[in-house]
Structure formats: structure tokens, C-alpha cells
Amino acid sequence: MSFSVSQPDPVITFTVDVWPENSCGSAGSVKQTSDDGYIIAGCKDDKAWLLKLDMYGNQLWENTYNLMDYWGTKSVIQTSDGGYLFAGWVGIVKVDSTGEQEWKNEEHPNGMGAYPYYEDIIEHSNGKYYAVGGPGNDGQALIVKFSHDGEVLKRKWHGGNCDNDRFKSVIESPDSMLIMVGGKVHGNSGYPCSFEWYDDFWIVKTNRNGSKIWEQTYGGSYYEEAHDIVRIEGGGYGIIGEKCANTPSNCLDATKVFFIQIDDDGNKVGDDKYQRNGFSTGNSITTTAQDGIAWTGDAGSYDTWVYKWGENEEQVDFVTDGVGGVNIETTTDGGFIIGTWGGTLIKTDSEFNFDETTSIDNNITMPSSLILSQNYPNPFNPYTTIKYDLPEDSYVNITVYDMLGKVVNNLLNTRQSAGYKSIQWNATNNAGQQISAGLYLYTIETGQFRQTKKMVLLK
């Protein structure tokens, strides 16, 4: 008698650059699909953009979609009918399994003249869609309930003492309610509504119509913001974000990843802070196949940081190229798919090993032409990074303008050596003051070359 032992299927790993030509923002969201492929959402040619890949990272199709004043896609999901739904700057769009648009719902300016925007969207077990973001009326955080064909069924606002409260992520709780996380402005004694510099980690639970059941805020005297939430095995939730325990002018290098664990009633069970290479943020969180926790974010503004731990997990802590991790999800083979601000998609195994054959070449070569890249993230609040390729030593000027052509900030005015360059901006003017939300232009000048791109600051 002979026996044969089946071997597990090998875990597919790869890296692939999915940054589109004429991109106007990051690959803002990536999800695994029912065919074990991937759907990626972003912005291209000032339009919403979707890209479908197979399980090996090969492109199957892409499409763009018109939305008024559109500036980026923040969340995409596969719906129960096999199609896709994505949300972003001014609305949501539903497409079929091949990327053909079925319907869209666009937002209109609120009472302050600003457009509401969406940060996340889910399909609820009741068959409805829920999108969250801000600012709603009077700058409040926003939750909108949609029917399966895009009709607005309910709209609720939360917060609102200041003009910059927002939800960043939403999930369905085990009792079929909704839990949102984000940032709530608390100000300080001198400036009770001082923009995003004085935020708390904000957690809100609502019923299926968006009415509040409870809310909790956590933080110190300065700035904390929650970016993503996940249900933890055994009960409760893990929340990832950022924290700066310092004054605004010192927040760049003082910003740390902030993790909080709460129980089902929002009470804090524990927390932790992480920092690597200066400015660090946690952007996305997931559970692992072994019931652990993994998150991704930024390390020093330029690298993708991934961290994993758990009772049944070997701790993993590593940094790789990719210009900031924006999205992480556990895949059906026990590995992970990671999206980055820089447009690199990374598929790993359970220990974050991946095939580097398509990664950036370690042999350093100089750029062949001068290129101004789209800032990332875009939209942003309050930090963004501008990358540019300098093919030769040159005098470089980078300036931010408002839409009337008035100089807002002279970011750079110096001679630089050739290479791949970047500069970070914290949404201040030349006087060091925070500027208002809106559309801005940034321009690079060097010799005879001049190029301009647009970016959006959220408040």
C-alpha cells in the first residue's frame, strides 16, 4: 500500500509598480477579489481610476470615471454581486465585474462651500452601503447610508464643535451596528478650534441609521488621529493611527505610530507607540491568518513600514521601499497584499517575504530627465511629499501657489546635485501659519524647465 501526501500550494509573492501615467494621487486602496486577484483604486488624469490584476499581479483591465472636481479614491470594495464600489473625494461609483460604470452618486458643497468627502465604504449585512468621511455641514464628520442602486437613504453628522472632524474608517460590528474611527478637533485654551493640530483619537459606534450609541476619545494635549480599525479575535478592536506629543512646529520628527486596543464598549484595553527614522504613521491594520495583528505605515516619510505580532505569531518588523504603506490586507493564502503611496504593490507570504525580482534595482543610476511627480498623499492633511527627478546639477525652485496665483510657500530655492529628490510640506505659508483647505498649485523651475501640478488640502 502506498500513500501520497499532498503539498500545500505555494504562496505567490511579487512586487509590481501600478502607478499610472498622469497619476493625480496614490494607489489609495487595494483589496483581494473573489478570483484571488486584486482591485486597486486611485486617481488618473483628474479622474477616478480602477485597475484589476490577476493573482500574479498581471493587469486584466483598467478604467477611469468622471466625477466633478475629483481628487482621489480612498476606498474600494468588491460587492456581493461581483462588481466593485469605490468612494473618494466627492462621491461613490458602482461598476460591474469588468469595470463598466453602473451608477454614481456625487456630493455637493456643504454650507461652508466645501465638498464633503469620503474616506471609507463598506457593504453591510443588511444589503446597504455605508460611506464615511467629512466634512459635513459645519465641518462635521459624515456617515451616509445608500441603497444598492445608490440612493441616499440616511445622512448623519457627528462632532462639529470645530470645522475639521472626520471619520477615516468604518466596520460592521458583530451586533450589526457600525463603528467609525477618525479625528476630532479639541483645540487648546488659546485656540479652541485650531485645525488638525489639536485632535483626539476618535471612536464612534452608531446604529444602522447612523445615530450614536457611544463615542470615546483618546489622546493628549496635542495631536492624535485614528486611521483604521479591525476586529480582533476574541473580542474588541485594534485601531492604528498617529500621535504627536509636541507643538505643531515640532511635529514632523515627533510623530509616532499610535496603536490602541479597545473592548466592545470602546474602553481602552491597552496602547503602544512606535517610531522609526523620524516621522512615522500607522495607516492600515489587519488581522493575520494566525489571529495576530499586522499594520503598515510610514517610516521617515519615505519608506513602507510593516509590523506584525500576536500570541501565535513570530514578530516581524521591517522597512522596504515604497514611499509609505497605505493599505494592508490578509490574503486567502495566509500572506498579505500591501499598497503604497508610491504606487508599488507588494504581495508577501505570512512572514512578509516577497519576490524582489521586480523591485527597484539596487544599482543606483541617475535620472534621465527632469520629472515632477504628483504629491503623495493627495488629498492630504496636513503633510504631503513632493518627489522630483533631477538629471543634472541645477538651481531648483519649488513654490506653492493658491488658485489666484499668489505665492503661499517658497519650499525650495537652492542649487542641488543630480538624483532622485523629495521635499515634505506641512500646509503652512511662508509665515509658518496653517493655511485653509482647498486646491493649490505647486511648481518646479530649473533652468529652462517649468512644470506645475495641482494638489488638494483637506481640513
Q: How many domains does the chain have?
A: 2
Least Cα distance to 37 among 322, 342, 329, 327 occurs for 329
Position 93 confidence tier, pLDDT thresholds 50, 70, 90:
very high
Whether the predicted pLDDT of 3 surpasses 60: no
pLDDT at 326: 87
**In sequence order, what are the residues at sequence separation of 6 or more whose Cβ sits closer than 8 angstroms to the Cβ of residue 100?**
63
Which of 348, 363, 388 lies at the terminal end of a domain, its last residue? 348
The CATH number given to whatever domain includes residue 97 is 2.130.10.10
Position 363 confidence tier, pLDDT thresholds 50, 70, 90:
very low
Q: pLDDT tens-digit profile of 116-152?
A: 889 999 999 999 999 999 877 677 899 999 999 999 9
Whether the predicted pLDDT of 425 surpasses 70: yes
Do 407 and 285 fall into the same domain?
A: no
Question: Is 273 a member of any domain?
Answer: yes
Cis peptide before 377 (omega within 30 of 0): yes
**Maximum Cα interatomic distance, the chain, rounded to a whole number of Å:** 84
Do 130 and 44 fall into the same domain?
A: yes
Contact yes or no for 380/457 (Cβ under 8 A)? yes
Position 366 confidence tier, pLDDT thresholds 50, 70, 90:
low
Question: Is 6 a member of any domain?
Answer: no
Question: Is 361 a member of any domain?
Answer: no
Separation CA 186–CA 429 (nearest Å): 23
C-alpha cell at 300: 521617515
Which of 317, 348, 379 lies at the terminal end of a domain, its last residue? 348
Q: What percent of the chain has pLDDT over 90?
A: 45
pLDDT at 417: 78
Question: Is 119 a member of any domain?
Answer: yes
Question: Is 444 a member of any domain?
Answer: yes
Do 321 and 433 fall into the same domain?
A: no
pLDDT at 334: 92
- Rounded mean pLDDT, 436-453: 90
The CATH number given to whatever domain includes residue 443 is 2.60.40.4070
Question: Is 211 a member of any domain?
Answer: yes
Which of 348, 380, 402 lies at the terminal end of a domain, its last residue? 348
pLDDT at 24: 67
Separation CA 139–CA 155 (nearest Å): 14
Separation CA 222–CA 245 (nearest Å): 6
Do 341 and 395 fall into the same domain?
A: no
Greater model confidence, 262 or 375: 262
Do 207 and 250 fall into the same domain?
A: yes
Do 326 and 407 fall into the same domain?
A: no
Do 207 and 333 fall into the same domain?
A: yes
Separation CA 120–CA 217 (nearest Å): 20
Do 193 and 58 fall into the same domain?
A: yes
Separation CA 305–CA 317 (nearest Å): 8
Q: Tell me the helices (H) and strands (E) count for the chain, helix number first.
A: 1, 35
SS (H, E, C) 103-165: EEEECCCCCCCCCCEEEEEEECCCCCEEEEEECCHHHCEEEEEECCCCCEEEEEEECCCCCCC
Listed ranges 54-58, 105-109, 236-240, 448-452; the one with the highest mean pLDDT? 236-240
Question: Is 1 a member of any domain?
Answer: no
Do 225 and 296 fall into the same domain?
A: yes
Domain residues for the domain of 208 are: 14-348
Do 398 and 299 fall into the same domain?
A: no
Do 197 and 305 fall into the same domain?
A: yes
Q: pLDDT tens-digit profile of 315-353?
A: 888 887 656 788 999 999 999 999 888 788 899 998 888
Q: Does the model's pTM come out above 0.95?
A: no
Do 274 and 411 fall into the same domain?
A: no
List phi, psi (to 5°) of 248: -50, -40
Separation CA 35–CA 457 (nearest Å): 37
Give the number of other Cβ atoms within 10 Å of residue 362's Cβ. Answer: 7
Q: pLDDT tens-digit profile of 185-203?
A: 876 555 556 554 578 899 9
Separation CA 83–CA 43 (nearest Å): 19
Question: Is 2 a member of any domain?
Answer: no
